[in-house]
Amino acid sequence: MPKIRGSAFIPRINYLKANHADTWPAVSKSVTPQTRELLDVHPLATGWYPFETFVDLMQVADRICGAGDLELVSKLGHQAATANLSTVLRIFIRLGSPDYILGKASKVWNMYHDSGRAETESLGPRSIAFQVHDFAAPHEVLCVTLRGWVRAYLEATGCKAVVVRETKCRRHGGDRCRYEGQWL
Residue spans per domain, the chain: 3-79, 97-182
- Residue 91: the pLDDT is 64
pLDDT one digit per residue (tens) for the chain, 184 residues: 999 999 999 999 999 999 999 999 999 999 999 999 999 999 999 999 999 999 999 999 999 999 999 999 999 999 999 887 765 466 667 667 888 888 877 888 999 999 999 999 999 999 999 999 999 999 999 999 999 999 998 998 889 999 999 999 999 999 999 999 999 9
pLDDT of res. 89? 61
- Note the pLDDT of residue 93: 72
Whether pTM > 0.75 for this model: the answer is: yes
Give the other-Cβ count within 10 Å of 22's Cβ: 8
Q: Which CATH class is domain 97-182?
A: alpha beta
Looking at residue 94, its pLDDT comes to 65
Contact 70, 62 (CB under 8 A): yes
Query: What is the model's pLDDT at position 156?
Result: 85
Find out whether 2 and 135 touch, Cβ atoms under 8 Å: yes
pLDDT confidence of residue 179: 97
3-state secondary structure of 12: helix
> CB-based contacts of 35: which residues, under 8 Å, 6+ apart?
53, 56, 57, 60
Q: What phi and psi, each to the nearest 5 degrees, are found at residue 86?
A: -70, 165
Residue 85: predicted pLDDT = 77
